[in-house]
Amino acid sequence: MRRARKMKAAALLLAGSMALAACASDEPSGGGGGGEGGGGSAEELRIGLAFDTGGRGDRSFNDAAVVGLEAAVEEHGGEFQDLSPNADASNRADLLTQLADEGYNPIIAVGFAYGEVIGDVVEQYPDTTFAIIDSSAEAVGADNLTGLLFSEEQGSFLAGVAAATKSETGHIGFVGGVQSTLIQKFEAGYVAGAQAVKPDVIIDRQYISPEGDFSGFNAPDRGLLVAQGMYEAGADIVYHAAGGSGQGVFQAAAAAGKRAIGVDSDQYQTVDDPALQAVILTSMLKRVDTAVSSFIDSYVDGSVEGGTDITYDLEQDGVGLATSGGFIDDIQDTIDDYRQQIVDGEIEVPTTP
């Protein structure tokens, strides 16, 4: 059975941590020390994190996990190590086993692709506590694994509302990183939200790479080409759910003088180039940062419930829209109205296109 956990009241500020993001690396990153950590001393808290494709520095999904990790270490002390997959991401299981062999506990796997291997790993390390983002622990059935899930379709619905309301051409687009069940939730919500506002809206949809090929999450050049084609076809706002490839979508928007919608992090705050910042209408926030820090909090205080899934949705602000830049301030009442309808159950957002 799926349950929701009460989230922290204050959302974590992403911008400061993103400035520290470097290229993806499998080298360890140190955290602070000192002080007590609930169930044990700071020296006993050694957190391991295995990144998704793109690693540290993607300014989106992976970096949101870093923010949560660093916030937890700042609060509880201890240290952490993060590892990134190799070029073809074939070493995901090796990353998890390396962290476990080196005594890191808890260990967090970032991304649904780890769902293919984590069942075997957690079975080998029954005394280690694991969490996986975007994949179900209930499906694995291991007592030492917790699933951290999100209602991406709900936040994407609001992104669709924003896009259709602000579009001047009645033509918008969606760029997915990898064609998969998870990213299709983003697509489905976005389409439903846009059509709720403007039933005859034109929506171009394209994925950068097919199912099983995770390169689409870290290919800005290909993201640029896909989005460029949409802008040339008449779209004036494109929403991406493509991880590091989203940088290319922003570049295409800037070149075309159009708009884009970011994902996962508040990407208005995470891009370096003011020219790209200026085209980001909003971002669909997915509070990976809060999920990570809350899970570590529960590990420290001894309240982790293995074998279960925790779902973060609109009601708990687990997903939502960023307001940085002020570009959607004039339609906030419309967005809030649709948000409340979803929370109240008046709108059921689809999870498949």
Cα separation, 347 vs 181, in Å, equals 21
Q: 269 and 14 in contact (C-beta within 8 Å)?
A: yes
pLDDT of residue 43: 54
Residues 38-93 pLDDT 10s: 333 445 899 999 999 888 988 888 999 999 999 999 999 999 999 999 988 899 99
**Non-local CB neighbours of 79 within 8 Å, separated by 6+ positions:** 30, 31, 33, 45, 46, 47, 73
Q: 210 preceded by cis ω (within 30°)?
A: no
| Helix locations, the chain, DSSP H | 15-18, 61-76, 92-101, 118-124, 152-166, 181-197, 220-232, 246-256, 267-270, 274-277, 288-300, 332-343
Residue type at 336 in one-letter notation: D
Q: What backbone torsions phi and psi does residue 50 show, to the nearest 5 degrees?
A: -110, 120
Determine how many CB atoms are found less than 10 A away from the CB of residue 89.
Answer: 21
Residue 87 contacts residue 54 (beta carbons within 8 Å): no
> Closest Cα to residue 291, out of 260, 328, 317, 320?
317
Q: How confident is the model at residue 2 (pLDDT cuts 50, 70, 90)?
A: very low
Q: Can you state the percent helix, strand and coil of the chain, rounding each to 5?
A: 40, 20, 40
| pTM, rounded to two decimals | 0.84
* Residue range 281-292, pLDDT digits in tens: 999 999 999 999
Condensed to tens digits (0 to 9), the pLDDT of residues 163-211 reads 999 999 999 999 999 999 999 999 999 999 999 999 999 999 999 999 9
Q: What percentage of the chain has pLDDT greater than the value 70?
A: 88
Q: What is the CA angle 79-82-83, rounded to 5?
A: 150
User: Which of 27, 49, 99, 7 lies closest to 287, judged by CA?
Assistant: 7
